[in-house]
């Protein structure tokens, strides 16, 4: 009964919260409060309130009871995320934008991965045993940048510095690609299995085979034009099936659905219709994800905050340094200010999805501590990112 | 080969390929050695998705050969279920049946929304005749058959004559039960509209309310007969009347709430309705448990009556009827597919194998009784002969309500309960397969299919 009550409550919170947050409610608030509010970060705290440390409504057994819902939420978000990668549209941007985005992404991924792998042996044995997997997660969660702050800033700057904002928005829309690959490695190099390349290769092949099967199934369904109610059924059924199958294959439901989404958006003629079905549930699903993540968040452990602050600073340095280098080296980007990277500190929804997904697969104490630390870092980044972004945007520099 | 035939053949080939692929995935999942905690979530999601998609495709294939889509969903459930291919274990079916609460309440909302006052104007007489005749004749013939011939069947030969008569009374009541969900699904699928359709819907919904009263009455009678020194507890009828009245009032008020939501906000209405349906089902259950544990007596509100009244209220007493029915239509397909495929997976084929001679006799007697009752009601009301000869085909389908009642009786009367449940399950197996096919054929025969 508790699971059912919790289910009803979180679904109600997600949908009503979505309407308060993203639709009818438009209060005049300071920028940082608006960013906090519009990124849905308050739902992390609602989840925390509902979790074991406070109201105990979403305790561990209840969360396990709601695990199917969490997997579907991840699958839905993943599928929708994949749908944003239509290669035809991504090619519209200048080459230097792509260079900046990918350089920034790779620089952070390698920087955080290296630091995490170096630091892990310094921690107790539990951390070392999961060292590689946790390092992949930390690197993957560090790279993507949030878009909400940029969108808010674009609206409040009323057309000033459009190129600077366009570059930042482009970077934030594609810097998740490398992170996805890194996150996938966390599943392929499982801590309990072999870390040898052949084990990883077998795992990757299994996952690829399952994804291809799911994609083939989807394409067969879409081989004829079907009416909307049937398309709703097919999309919902496929997300459920893909989430279940990928979890069974020891893989991430998020990544499996992203892969299927990316393939489908680039080959299906029904992509617009499918997108119209997926999109209305995107934000409620994201808020649900934050509630579940908040409920599992450990905030009473000083280690969480210690690692979190170090991780947040390292991530910030990585973002800043990567764009400093590329804007000084690449001729087409020299007109941009050197501290541009500080405008990319806002956390992306993709990072949150990584964390929830990881917490479903790797449930030990060590994993939950690291997830809590990353979450703490992302929340702190969310708090300071509006000021840094404003500073970057207002920096005087001629970009014409 | 003509282009249409070629296209149809290609579609069938695609559908068969999909089924093979889903079957291959399901075989992999069945053999998967899962960890007990996270494996359960993965299995639930996978099999839910596979059932949804597999049943949908089976429905399309059934449509190609002229059967109702609903039959395809049920057959897919039977095939995937524990008795045939075994992709769904009994425990998995049990877990997924939690969704029945949601689906049944949602279908009840839909049934209420189909119940237009203007459409029913002038049909009251035939509906009342049908209800009265079907209760009297169907109950009388099935209970009579059970009482007279019950001891001739190997399955029930060990029962005493009193027990056989009690079993027959309960079987008679179970035979009166209908399947509003099947009726709504077939009407939606056939886009049927007209006097015949309105009458069938009116009778089916009325019977759904009436069956609860009849069953309570039968339970009281059987209690008095079977218990040593037993007597009728008349207070139970007062409580039942109160519960039905409160359920109807709660439904009408909920309908007002839905209408208010549609007028004031209206966002994500399909999700709101799904949420409402599930909420009503679980809240009714919780209220029963709460009043039982805190006040010593259970206030059992009927979620189906609440939802039907709510649907009726929005459609007939509010302003948001059009948006309401559009939202219901938008998500009704997944709900129907899931509900009927799960119903198929839960059909107890073992019970059918054990009791098929008795079940077959009861199903035939029931069909004959329904034919007689529907014909007499139509003839007395002056309906066209075409309607009267066809009407019986619309009332054959049976589903969850009868199973629920039989299970309740099993708890109350363990001596005959197992027999009752087994026979009822077997009869439902037959009626749930034949009923939708017959109803679809009836709608085509009276020319009301495709007019909605």
Annotate B251-303 with three-state secondary structure.
HHHHHHHHHHHHHHCCCCHHHHHHHHHHHHHHHHHHHHHHHHHHHCCCCCCCH
- Arithmetic mean of pLDDT, B357-381: 94
Per-residue pLDDT at A201: 66
The tokens for B390 are: 């066809």
- Arithmetic mean of pLDDT, B405-429: 75
Q: Which residues of A touch B331 (CB under 8 A)?
A: 229, 232
Identify whether the C-beta of residue B135 lies closer than 8 Å to the C-beta of residue B174.
no
Question: pLDDT confidence of B246, banded at 50, 70, 90?
Answer: very high
Judged against a pLDDT cut of 80, whether residue B229 lies above it is answered with: no
Identify whether the C-beta of residue A165 lies closer than 8 Å to the C-beta of residue A390.
no
CATH number, span B102-445: 1.20.1530.20
- What residues contact B249, with CB distance under 8 A and at least 6 apart? B309
Select from A11, A224, A248 the Cβ nearest to the Cβ of B275.
A11
Tens of pLDDT, residue by residue over B2-11, are: 677 888 899 9
Query: In whole angstroms, how large is the CA radius of gyration of chain B?
Result: 22
Cβ of B38 and A70 within 8 Å?
no
Select from A15, A217, A223 the Cβ nearest to the Cβ of B21.
A217
Q: How is A112-133 classified by DSSP, letter by letter?
A: HHHHHHHHGGGS-HHHHHTHHH
Question: pLDDT confidence of A62, banded at 50, 70, 90?
Answer: very high
Judged against a pLDDT cut of 80, whether residue A306 lies above it is answered with: yes
CA distance A115 to chain B (A): 31
Give yes or no for A241 touching B (CB within 8 A).
yes
Per-residue pLDDT at A304: 93
Select from A64, A220, A234 the Cβ nearest to the Cβ of B14.
A220
Q: Which residues of A touch B22 (CB under 8 A)?
A: 217, 241
Q: Which residues of A touch B14 (CB under 8 A)?
A: 220, 223-224
Judged against a pLDDT cut of 70, whether residue B65 lies above it is answered with: yes
Cβ of B282 and A4 within 8 Å?
yes
Q: What pTM, to 2 d.p., does this model score?
A: 0.86
- What residues contact A212, with CB distance under 8 A and at least 6 apart? none
Tens of pLDDT, residue by residue over A98-143, are: 889 999 999 999 999 999 999 988 888 777 778 889 999 999 999 9
Q: What is the three-class DSSP state of A66?
A: coil
Question: pLDDT confidence of A243, banded at 50, 70, 90?
Answer: very high
Q: ipTM more than 0.95? A: no
Identify whether the C-beta of residue A339 lies closer than 8 Å to the C-beta of residue B16.
no
**If contacts are CB pairs under 8 Å, which of residues 47-106 in chain B contact chain A?**
47-50, 52-53, 56
Q: Which residues of B touch A284 (CB under 8 A)?
A: 268
Give yes or no for B337 touching A (CB within 8 A).
yes
Question: pLDDT confidence of A309, banded at 50, 70, 90?
Answer: very high
- Lowest mean pLDDT, pick from A362-376, B261-275, B338-352: B338-352
- Arithmetic mean of pLDDT, B30-56: 84
- Arithmetic mean of pLDDT, B263-285: 88
Cβ of A8 and B279 within 8 Å?
yes
Identify whether the C-beta of residue B247 lies closer than 8 Å to the C-beta of residue B301.
yes
Say how far apart CA B227 and CA B218 lie, in whole Å.
Answer: 14
* Reduced DSSP (H G I as helix, E B as strand, rest coil) percent helix, strand, coil of chain B, to 5: 80, 0, 20
Per-residue pLDDT at A398: 54
Instruction: Count CB pairs under 8 A between chains A and B.
Output: 137
Per-residue pLDDT at B22: 95
- What residues contact B140, with CB distance under 8 A and at least 6 apart? B172, B369
CA distance A68 to chain B (A): 5
Question: pLDDT confidence of B45, banded at 50, 70, 90?
Answer: very high
Domain A2-394 is of which CATH architecture?
Up-down Bundle (1.20)
Give yes or no for B39 touching A (CB within 8 A).
yes
By C-alpha distance, the chain A residue nearest B14 is: A220
Per-residue pLDDT at A290: 95
Say how far apart CA B270 and CA A11 lie, in whole Å.
Answer: 14
Average pLDDT, chain B: 86
Say how far apart CA B422 and CA B367 lie, in whole Å.
Answer: 19
CA distance B401 to chain A (A): 22
CA distance B230 to chain A (A): 36
Question: pLDDT confidence of A5, banded at 50, 70, 90?
Answer: confident
Give yes or no for B326 touching A (CB within 8 A).
no
- Lowest mean pLDDT, pick from A204-208, A378-382, B194-198: A204-208
Select from B17, B37, B53 the Cβ nearest to the Cβ of A241.
B53
Cβ of B275 and A240 within 8 Å?
no
Per-residue pLDDT at B295: 84
> Would you give the DSSP letter of residue A23?
I
Identify whether the C-beta of residue B426 lies closer than 8 Å to the C-beta of residue B348.
yes
Say how far apart CA B442 and CA B406 lie, in whole Å.
Answer: 29
Give yes or no for B25 touching A (CB within 8 A).
yes
Size (chain A), residues: 400
Per-residue pLDDT at A211: 85
- What residues contact B309, with CB distance under 8 A and at least 6 apart? B112, B247, B248, B249, B250, B251, B252, B254, B255
Query: Domain residues of chain B, as ranges?
Result: 3-96, 102-445
Tens of pLDDT, residue by residue over A185-197, are: 888 776 555 444 5
Give yes or no for B380 touching A (CB within 8 A).
no
Per-residue pLDDT at B400: 60
Tens of pLDDT, residue by residue over A259-283, are: 999 999 999 888 899 999 888 888 8
* CA proximity to B275, closest of A101, A94, A369, A10: A10
Of chain A, the percentage scoring pLDDT greater than 70 comes to 92
Interface test mutation site (partner A, options B35, B46, B54, max chain A beta carbons within 10 A): B46
Question: pLDDT confidence of A198, banded at 50, 70, 90?
Answer: low
Cβ of B29 and A248 within 8 Å?
yes
**If contacts are CB pairs under 8 Å, which of residues 212-271 in chain B contact chain A?**
265, 267-268, 271
Per-residue pLDDT at B289: 87
Per-residue pLDDT at A237: 95
Query: In whole angstroms, how large is the CA radius of gyration of chain A?
Result: 21
Judged against a pLDDT cut of 90, whether residue B380 lies above it is answered with: yes
Select from B46, B271, B337 the Cβ nearest to the Cβ of A241.
B46
Query: Domain residues of chain A, as ranges?
Result: 2-394
Say how far apart CA A329 and CA A289 lie, in whole Å.
Answer: 39
Of chain A, the percentage scoring pLDDT greater than 90 comes to 48
Cβ of A234 and B331 within 8 Å?
no
By C-alpha distance, the chain A residue nearest B52 is: A237
* CA proximity to B112, closest of B266, B302, B255, B301: B255
The tokens for A92 are: 């519209």
Of chain B, the percentage scoring pLDDT greater than 70 comes to 94
Cβ of A213 and B21 within 8 Å?
yes
> Would you give the DSSP letter of residue B149?
H
Say how far apart CA B161 and CA A244 lie, in whole Å.
Answer: 53
Give yes or no for A71 touching B (CB within 8 A).
yes
CA distance B75 to chain A (A): 18
Per-residue pLDDT at A215: 92
Say how far apart CA B408 and CA B406 lie, in whole Å.
Answer: 5
Question: pLDDT confidence of A151, banded at 50, 70, 90?
Answer: confident
CA distance B60 to chain A (A): 11
* CA proximity to A296, closest of A14, A128, A67: A67
Cβ of B29 and A245 within 8 Å?
yes
Cβ of A240 and B279 within 8 Å?
no
- Lowest mean pLDDT, pick from A236-240, A314-318, B1-5, B248-252: B1-5
User: At B218, which helix (H) or strand (E)?
Assistant: helix B195-226
Please report, for residues A189, A358, B208, B438, the alpha-carbon distance to residue A111 in angstroms, rounded to integers and kept in the order given. 19, 21, 67, 69
* CA proximity to A375, closest of A71, A128, A44: A44
Per-residue pLDDT at A397: 60
Per-residue pLDDT at B223: 76
Per-residue pLDDT at A24: 59
């Amino acid at each position: 009964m508790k699971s059912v009550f919790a289910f009803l409550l979180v679904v109600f919170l997600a949908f009503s919260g979505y309407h308060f947050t993203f639709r009818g409610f438009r209060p005049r608030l300071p920028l940082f409060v608006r960013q906090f509010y519009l990124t849905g970060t308050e739902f992390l705290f609602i989840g925390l309130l509902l979790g074991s440390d406070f109201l105990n409504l979403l305790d561990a057994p209840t969360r396990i009871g709601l695990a199917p819902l969490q997997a579907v939420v991840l699958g839905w978000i993943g599928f929708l995320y994949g749908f944003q990668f239509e290669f035809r549209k991504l090619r519209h941007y200048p080459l230097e934008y792509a260079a900046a985005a990918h350089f920034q992404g790779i620089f952070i991924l390698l920087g955080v991965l290296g630091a995490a792998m170096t630091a892990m042996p310094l921690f107790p044995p539990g951390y070392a045993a999961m060292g590689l997997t946790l390092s992949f997660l930390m690197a993957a969660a560090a790279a993507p940048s949030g878009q909400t702050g940029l969108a808010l800033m674009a609206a409040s700057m009323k057309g000033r510095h459009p190129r600077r904002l366009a570059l930042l928005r482009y970077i934030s829309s594609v810097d998740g690609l490398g992170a996805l690959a890194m996150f996938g490695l966390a599943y392929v190099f499982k801590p309990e299995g072999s870390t040898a390349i052949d084990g990883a290769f077998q795992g990757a092949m299994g996952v690829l085979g399952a994804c291809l099967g799911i994609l083939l199934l989807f394409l067969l369904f879409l081989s004829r034009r079907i009416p909307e109610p049937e398309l709703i059924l097919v999309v919902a059924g496929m997300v459920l099936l893909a989430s279940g199958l990928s979890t069974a294959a020891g893989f991430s439901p998020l990544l499996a659905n992203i892969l299927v989404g990316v393939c489908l958006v680039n080959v299906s003629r029904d992509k617009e219709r499918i997108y119209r079905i997926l999109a209305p549930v995107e934000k409620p699903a994201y808020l649900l994800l934050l509630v579940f993540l908040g409920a599992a968040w450990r905030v009473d452990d000083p280690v969480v905050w210690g690692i979190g602050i170090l991780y947040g600073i390292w991530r910030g340095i990585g973002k800043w340094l990567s764009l400093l280098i590329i804007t000084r080296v690449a001729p087409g980007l020299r007109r941009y200010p050197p501290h541009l990277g500080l405008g990319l500190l806002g956390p992306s929804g993709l990072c949150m999805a990584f964390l929830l997904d990881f917490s479903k697969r790797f449930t030990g104490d060590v994993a939950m501590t690291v997830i809590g630390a990353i979450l703490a870092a992302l929340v702190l980044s969310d708090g300071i990112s509006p000021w840094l972004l404003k500073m970057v945007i207002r920096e005087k520099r001629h970009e014409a | 080969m003509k282009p249409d035939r070629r296209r149809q053949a290609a579609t069938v080939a695609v559908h068969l390929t999909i089924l093979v692929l889903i079957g291959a995935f399901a075989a992999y999942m069945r053999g998967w050695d899962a960890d007990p905690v996270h494996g359960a979530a993965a299995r639930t999601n996978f099999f839910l998705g596979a059932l949804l998609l597999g049943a949908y495709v089976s429905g399309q294939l059934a449509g190609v050969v002229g059967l109702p889509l609903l039959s395809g969903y049920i057959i897919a459930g039977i095939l995937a279920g524990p008795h045939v291919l075994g992709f769904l274990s009994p425990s998995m079916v049990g877990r997924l049946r939690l969704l029945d609460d949601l689906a049944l309440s949602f279908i009840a909302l839909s049934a209420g929304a189909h119940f237009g006052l203007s459409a029913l104007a002038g049909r009251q007489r035939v509906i009342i005749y049908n209800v009265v005749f079907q209760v009297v004749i169907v109950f009388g013939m099935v209970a009579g058959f059970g009482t007279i011939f019950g001891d001739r069947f190997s399955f029930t030969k060990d029962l005493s004559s009193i027990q056989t008569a009690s079993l027959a009374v309960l079987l008679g009541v179970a035979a009166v039960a209908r399947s509003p969900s099947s009726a709504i699904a077939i009407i939606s699928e056939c886009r049927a509209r007209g006097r015949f359709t309105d009458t069938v819907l009116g009778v089916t919904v009325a019977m759904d309310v009436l069956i609860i009263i009849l069953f309570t009455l039968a339970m009281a009678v059987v209690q008095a007969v079977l218990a040593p020194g037993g007597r009728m507890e008349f207070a139970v009828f007062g409580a039942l009347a109160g519960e039905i009245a409160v359920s109807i009032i709660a439904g009408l008020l909920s309908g007002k709430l839905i209408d208010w939501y549609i007028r004031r906000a209206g966002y994500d209405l399909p999700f709101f309705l799904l949420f409402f349906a599930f909420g009503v089902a679980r809240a009714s259950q919780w209220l029963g448990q709460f009043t039982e544990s805190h006040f010593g007596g259970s206030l059992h509100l009927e979620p189906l009556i609440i939802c039907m009244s709510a649907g009726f209220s929005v459609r007939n007493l509010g302003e948001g009827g059009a948006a309401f029915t559009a939202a219901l239509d938008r998500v009704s397909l997944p709900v129907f597919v899931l509900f009927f495929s799960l119903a198929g997976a839960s059909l107890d084929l073992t019970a059918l194998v054990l009791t098929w001679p008795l079940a077959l006799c009861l199903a035939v007697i029931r069909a004959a009784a329904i034919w007689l009752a529907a014909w007499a009601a139509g003839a007395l009301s002056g309906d066209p002969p075409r309607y009267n000869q066809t009407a019986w085909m619309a009332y054959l389908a049976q589903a969850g309500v009868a199973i629920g009642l039989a299970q309740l009786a099993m708890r109350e009367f363990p001596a005959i309960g197992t027999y009752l449940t087994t026979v009822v399950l077997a009869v439902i197996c037959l009626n749930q397969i034949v009923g939708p096919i017959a109803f679809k054929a009836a709608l085509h025969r009276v020319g009301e299919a495709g007019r909605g």
